[in-house]
Structure formats: structure tokens, C-alpha cells
């Protein structure tokens, strides 16, 4: 084991505290105290950390981008491997496969690829690391049509719980390759490199938006629900409830972003929404020029740094009355920076998925992002989220790992057989629970992982 391991022990209070939570995006910071933090810059640092954890019989946690709302990386008495300074991006221009380290953000990756005429449909927020994003499935750009980002993983390199370095793909160590596409924070290893299939970039990104007062919520939502599943195959669609800057009233905005290679194609793609949208907009634009960089900037403004966050989500059942079910969430936001969204997932939600851990989806993805500034507002904002989700969850298939907090609410995250298989893989590859798994209440799930059941099912009549 290297004597130059960049480790900061808990006793080094000032430096330790910065390393513990300095890169945690959510300023509702956890009180949990890792044993130490390793600020890794190379693969050998990660291997040495796992070996050290085995020697000390403690766990290892991992941080890629620090964007987990529940701060999964910060675990009591574990050694935290922070990958924020471990960077690698390279492209095989012949195959279009990019190799990237887990802390690489969507903005970093697409800035690199743009000069080579390629793109990767990563996360919408610019500073989300690939590690957490891809492990939980990756609801990336135009996911409704192009599919989940994790479906573009060609291979991974990972450090196993015993400190071994291995390569995983469809032919070798295929169980871990299966788990890497949807296991989320319960993946039983530390990924050091993703091999990702990129796609050609687009010369004409365009967007249209239609904003309505909250009194017109039902008209706006009924409309977007009616057009989404059969809309253009290079266009993503989202409905967002928010307080626009300088406005005292909630507005509902339907936003369409299309990826095309000519102005004519972009106009054709967006024209159907322009022709069919309900009258009475309070704001409106059609086929406006945009770019990934502009969209990243917009997402960064919607998810400001230095704030307190609570998030939750659900895949709404296809037979639910979606507009009615989400009305309270969309019209009663608890703070001016909070927002609720409905994200169209059809038609990808109607296609057979690859054989991988990711196995939960529906036509309708719903998420709450509750954003505020002061600790005294914690109870109000968190209670609002819990109240909304109590009503919504009984009409859901399950939830997306990335916008969940297992300490607060657990439900189904995988199909039944996939959930069983994932637990078996965790026990096989990490029988001692050396790699921290799912942070549930009391952090007790350990090697077994989450039960993958609707905890609310015993409380209500279905």
C-alpha cells in the first residue's frame, strides 16, 4: 500500500470538514462522520483505499459529483473516496466510444466532444458527475426517444470489494456490467472508467415554450399529455411548475427541445405543438435557437448552488388520471425556488428494455425539487414533499433512484426479478459489505440492499 495515499483523517478537523462536505451540492448537509476522506487522483489511490478498508474492517463510500440529494457518499465510520480530482476523457474517433472517469460532468464531457462532432446524452444539470448519473440509469437528454443513458455504456472498469481491478462488459464479468446499468449506489464496486457510445452532434438545437397561469393548469397538462407519446423522435418534452423570476404567481411551462441538423427539420418537428397548443399563454416562444451550453446554463439557474434541497419522484401508472393527480403539486409550491416537473417518457417506456438492472419505467415521470435557503424552513418544505408523495405514490409503479432518499421513503426501484438478481450479485461480489450500499434509515440494509417493495402498500387499500 502506497505511503502517499492522499488521506485526511477525522482528527484533522478543519481540512477534514472541507473534504467531508465541501463538494456536497445540497446545503442541507448531513451530520454523518466518515472515518477519513481520500481525495483520489489515480486508480492506485482507489485500490489502496479499498485495501485499507479491508485491513481496518470498515466500509468504503464513493463520491463522483456530489449531487446526490441525500448525500449518499457521507457515511458514518467509512472511508470516503472522493473522485472529484480523478479526471480522464479520451475518444476513439473510429468507434465513437469515449472513455471517461466518474467525476466527469455532462458539461465537461460534451465540451470535449463538441470539438469532435460528437455528443453524449448525459444529465441535464451541468455539474452532475457521470458516476451516480449512469449507475442509476441516466435520464438524459431526449431520454423519451433515444433511451436511457446507461444503455450507451459499452463497458466499465471497476475496483471490486477485495481491491482487484477488473474490466466488465457483455462478455467478461457480465454480472457487474448488468448491475452497473441501474444498480445505483448499491453497485458492489467502485467504477473508475466508463466506456460510452457517443452519437453525432446536432447543428440545429431549437426550443419552443408555452407558459400558462396556474389557473390553466388542467388545460396545459391535458394538452401536453395528448401530444407527447407520438411527437417527433428527436424532441424531448417536459412540463414544469415554477415561480418565474419577478412573478408572484406560479406558472406552468411546457418546454420542447429538439435536436436537428437543419432549420427546416427543426421547424417541422416543433410545428405540431405550435399549431395545437391551448390559447391563453402568458409567455411563448417558437423554434428559438439554443445549444447544450445554453440549456446547461438554464438548468444551473433552476438548481442554484448554496441552497437546501429535498427531492422525491414517482413513475406514475399509465392508467392514472395524471393531470388530476399532479394538480396539487403543480399549483402549491412551498417556496419560490421550488419546482415540480412531469417528463414525458413515451415511447421509450413502451419498448422492451435491455437485460440490465434498470427495469422500472412508465410513460410519466414526476419529480419534486424543493429548494430553499434557510434552515428554519426545513420542516415546511420537507412536510410539503411528504404530503404530496403520500397521495401520489399509491398511483405509481415505483421510483427513480437518482431523485430518491431511502431514509425517508422506499418503494420499488426495479422489476421483481431484477431486484432479486441485484441482491444476489451484491452478496456474491461483496459478501462482507465492504462497499457502502443504499443509505436507508439507520443505514442498515447492508449487503442485502433494498427490499424493492412498496412500503406504503400495507398502509392503504389498493
Same domain assignment for residues 173 and 275: no
Please state, for a pLDDT cut of 70, what percent of the chain lies above it: 98
Give pTM, 2 decimals: 0.96
**107 and 193 co-located in one domain:** yes
Tell whether 57 is covered by a domain: yes
Please name the helix (run of DSSP H) or strand (run of DSSP E) that holds residue 80, with its range, or none.
Answer: strand 79-82
Task: Quick: pLDDT tens for 38-86.
Answer: 999 999 999 999 999 999 999 999 999 999 999 999 999 999 999 999 9
Q: What pLDDT score was predicted for residue 100?
A: 98
Same domain, 295 and 146: no
HSE-CB for 231 with a 13 A CA cutoff: 31
In a domain, 431, yes or no: no
Q: Is residue 424 part of a domain?
A: no
User: Which among 66, 82, 98 is the end of a domain?
Assistant: 82
Is the predicted pLDDT of residue 407 greater than 70, yes or no? yes
**Whether residue 382 is found in the same domain as residue 357:** yes
The CA distance from 205 to 297, in Å, is: 15
Whether residue 253 is found in the same domain as residue 375:
yes
Query: Rounded to an integer, what distance in angstroms lies between the CA atom of residue 99 and that of residue 104?
Result: 10
56 in any annotated domain: yes
Residues 26-53 as b/e (b if ≥16 CB within 10 A, e otherwise) read bebebebebbbbbbbeebebbbbbbbbb
- The Cα 311–Cα 421 span in angstroms is 28
Question: pLDDT-derived band of residue 457, with 50, 70 and 90 as boundaries?
Answer: confident
Q: How many domains does the chain have?
A: 3
97, 125, 369, 403 from 336: Cα distances, Å: 42, 19, 11, 20
Q: Is residue 369 part of a domain?
A: yes
Percent of the chain with pLDDT over 90: 96
CATH number at residue 44: 3.30.43.10
Helix%, strand%, coil% for the chain, nearest 5? 35, 25, 40
| Statement: residue 25 has pLDDT above 90 | yes
Query: Could you tell me if 156 and 194 are in contact, meaning their C-beta atoms sit under 8 angstroms apart?
Result: yes
Q: What angle do CA 333, 372, 328 make, to 5 degrees?
A: 10
Task: Please tell me whether residues 142 and 22 are part of one structural domain.
Answer: no
Q: What is the distance in angstroms between the CA of the first residue and the CA of the last residue of the chain?
A: 55
Q: Which domain CATH number covers 399?
A: 3.40.462.20
355 and 228 within one domain = yes
Q: Tell me what pLDDT residue 46 has.
A: 98
Domain-embedded: residue 191: yes
| pLDDT (average), residues 309-330 | 98
State the chain's maximal CA–CA distance in angstroms. 68
CA distance 432 to 448: 10
Among 185, 200, 215, the domain-final residue is 200
Looking at residue 3, its pLDDT comes to 56
Res. 11: pLDDT tops 90: no
The residue-averaged pLDDT of 234-239 equals: 98
| CA dist., res. 385 & res. 402, Å (int) | 16
- Categorize the per-residue pLDDT at 442 as very low, low, confident or very high, splitting at 50, 70 and 90: very high
Distance CA 84, CA 65 (A): 7
Query: Are 242 and 192 found together in one domain?
Result: no
**44/120 same-domain check:** no
Residue ranges of E strands in 386-450: 396-398
Please, which pLDDT band fits residue 406 given cuts at 50, 70 and 90? very high
On average, the pLDDT of the chain sits at 96
Q: State mean pLDDT over 436-450.
A: 95
pLDDT per position as a tens digit, 359-403: 999 999 999 999 999 999 999 999 999 999 999 999 999 999 999
User: Do 370 and 309 share a structural domain?
Assistant: yes
Q: What does the DSSP assignment read for 269-331?
A: HHHHHHHHSPS--SEEEEEEEE-HHHHHHHHHHHS-TT-EEEEEEEEE-TTS-HHHHHHHHHH
- What would you report as the CA-atom Rg of the chain, rounded to the nearest whole angstrom? 22
Peptide bond between residue 398 and the one before it cis (omega within 30 degrees of 0): no
pLDDT of amino acid 196: 98
Q: How confident is the model at residue 462, as a pLDDT?
A: 45
Q: How far apart are CA 137 and CA 357, in angstroms?
A: 9
**What was the pLDDT predicted at 460?**
59
Residues 327 and 183 in one domain: no
pLDDT in tens, 275-288: 999 999 999 999 99
Question: Which of 351, 384, 403 is a domain's end point?
Answer: 403
Task: For residues 303 and 177, state if they share a domain.
Answer: no
* Residue 256 domain flag: yes
Is there a domain that residue 36 lies in? yes
Q: Return the CATH number at 137.
A: 3.30.465.10
- Checking phi first, is residue 220 left (phi over 0); if not, alpha (psi -120 to 50) or beta? alpha
Closest CA to 425 of 258, 83, 189: 189
The CB-side HSE value for 7 (13 A sphere, CA atoms) comes to 23
Q: Could you tell me the residue range of the domain that residue 124 belongs to? A: 89-200
**pLDDT attached to residue 461:** 52
Amino acid at each position: 500500500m502506497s505511503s502517499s495515499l492522499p488521506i485526511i483523517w477525522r482528527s484533522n478537523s478543519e481540512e477534514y470538514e472541507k473534504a467531508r462536505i465541501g463538494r456536497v451540492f445540497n446545503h442541507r448537509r448531513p451530520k454523518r462522520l466518515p472515518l477519513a476522506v481520500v481525495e483520489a487522483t489515480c486508480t492506485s489511490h482507489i485500490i489502496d483505499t479499498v485495501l485499507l478498508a479491508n485491513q481496518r474492517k470498515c466500509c468504503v463510500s464513493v463520491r463522483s459529483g456530489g449531487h446526490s440529494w441525500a448525500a449518499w457518499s457521507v457515511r458514518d465510520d467509512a472511508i470516503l473516496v472522493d473522485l472529484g480530482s480523478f479526471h480522464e476523457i479520451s475518444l476513439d474517433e473510429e468507434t465513437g466510444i469515449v472513455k471517461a472517469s466518474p467525476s466527469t460532468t455532462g458539461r465537461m464531457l460534451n465540451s470535449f466532444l463538441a470539438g469532435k462532432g460528437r455528443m453524449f446524452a448525459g444529465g441535464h444539470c451541468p455539474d452532475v458527475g457521470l458516476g451516480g448519473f449512469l449507475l442509476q440509469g441516466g435520464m438524459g437528454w431526449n431520454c423519451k426517444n433515444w433511451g436511457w443513458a446507461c444503455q450507451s455504456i459499452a463497458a466499465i472498469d471497476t475496483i471490486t470489494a477485495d481491491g482487484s481491478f477488473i474490466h466488465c462488459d457483455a462478455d467478461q464479468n457480465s454480472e457487474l456490467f448488468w448491475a452497473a446499468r441501474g444498480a445505483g449506489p448499491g453497485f458492489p464496486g467502485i467504477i473508475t472508467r466508463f466506456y460510452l457510445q457517443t452519437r453525432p452532434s446536432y447543428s440545429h438545437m431549437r426550443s419552443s415554450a408555452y407558459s400558462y397561469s396556474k389557473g390553466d393548469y388542467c388545460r396545459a397538462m391535458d394538452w401536453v399529455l395528448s401530444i407527447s407519446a407520438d411527437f417527433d423522435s428527436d424532441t424531448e418534452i417536459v412540463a414544469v411548475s415554477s415561480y418565474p423570476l419577478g412573478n408572484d404567481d406560479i406558472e406552468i411551462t411546457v418546454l420542447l427541445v429538439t435536436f436537428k441538423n437543419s432549420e427546416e427539420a427543426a421547424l417541422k418537428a416543433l410545428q405540431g405543438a405550435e399549431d395545437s397548443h391551448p390559447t391563453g399563454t402568458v409567455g411563448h416562444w417558437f423554434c428559438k435557437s439554443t445549444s447544450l451550453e445554453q440549456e446547461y446554463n438554464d438548468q444551473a439557474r433552476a438548481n442554484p448552488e448554496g441552497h437546501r434541497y429535498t427531492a422525491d419522484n414517482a413513475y406514475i401508472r399509465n392508467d392514472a388520471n395524471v393531470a388530476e393527480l399532479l394538480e396539487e403539486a403543480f399549483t402549491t409550491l412551498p417556496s419560490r425556488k421550488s419546482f415540480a416537473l412531469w417528463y414525458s417518457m413515451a415511447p421509450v417506456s413502451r419498448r422492451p428494455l435491455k437485460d440490465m438492472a434498470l427495469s422500472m419505467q412508465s410513460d410519466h415521470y414526476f419529480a419534486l425539487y424543493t429548494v430553499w435557503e434557510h434552515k428554519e424552513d426545513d420542516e415546511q418544505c420537507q412536510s410539503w414533499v411528504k404530503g404530496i408523495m403520500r397521495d401520489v405514490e399509491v398511483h405509481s409503479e415505483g421510483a427513480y433512484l437518482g431523485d430518491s432518499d431511502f431514509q425517508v421513503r422506499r418503494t420499488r426501484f426495479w422489476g421483481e426479478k431484477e431486484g432479486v438478481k441485484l441482491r444476489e450479485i451484491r452478496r456474491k461480489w461483496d459478501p462482507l459489505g465492504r462497499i457502502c450500499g443504499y443509505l436507508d434509515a439507520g443505514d442498515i440494509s447492508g449487503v442485502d440492499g433494498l427490499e424493492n417493495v412498496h412500503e406504503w402498500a400495507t398502509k392503504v387499500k389498493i
